[in-house]
Structure 1
């Protein structure tokens, strides 16, 4: 892939959703606890058994750093949980995840409307690429009041593949008429940054997810506390 151009030539920006636009723990801890409790009650099993299957700490309500749910698609998460429940239907669990996650309470990493308005004022095209469903992504952006700010939205089921594949990132560049070298991919995990590098894009890590600076640095041009520091990074 072509090496990224100077950051002053950036004309497009792609965001991950969970852990990037929205703080990961604050948004998903209570929802995950509720999901595990509901599945345990439905299938007469223990929430602790399900929590161990996905590396979720029930007493603290925190995802462990190695949790396979981090960066997973709904289908992948459903299959992990179904594997811990004898006779469970992964498809039914996937549908439960799709519907309940779309209504999860959101905790924005920064006030999103003014932040995104500022990026648009710079002439930047704005995209979202998530391993959530496109349905869930649109529901969350609508709930946050920022759906109209996005020129491109792709979930794992949109047709471009799931991260860490680079298909959706390249689809954004193509649809916006931009060389990948003029795009920056922003995310909180290596699942976001690895495809950004593979696509020949700039990559920015943020610390509003599970990963630490040391985890992201090998794959990121820079690591920022949160997305609110991006305008300063663009101007540096």
Structure 2
């Protein structure tokens, strides 16, 4: 028993500890041979360096949490922006349209874009978790940055039109019609994913999966 206790007392200390003089931190310092000095990283980054990488495209809880957090910000900002746009709809039509008023119409785009990406992951996790991956958010960047290019073109087109011809963005009824179509489209897609459940994923199949069945109920009736 005494020999076991002696061996335990000679085990290396935890990897992160402060020196007796309180001068510096030893971060992830491995035990070294007697008399050998191992350099320590005393930088501020070393003290707070995370154990995993963020934003590397891997399907990790950290990346999912960060992405959901950013989409939540987009949802909140988009909702407030959309509410301001709805209030602006009641402006009399004789009011001269301007760039700032036309810019309010961008709010629903941010709102429904954030909602779409979030619901893609959420609904898949609820009804088909085996097909879940980080690309389930559906905006994973590919080698050609197609998604980023597409969104950039959409934004540039909107800003150019809002600046030079803001009146085309100020139509009351066509704006409300577009808002209704976005709500209806998102509701139909979410209902379809919930109905197909394990028979739906985000990949194009070239061969029939043995577990795949034809859905003929619900919205597909």
TM-score, structure 1 length as denominator?
Answer: 0.23
1 or 2, which has the higher strand percentage?
1
Which one scores higher on RCO, CA 8 angstroms, separation ≥ 6? 1
1 or 2, which has the higher helix percentage?
2
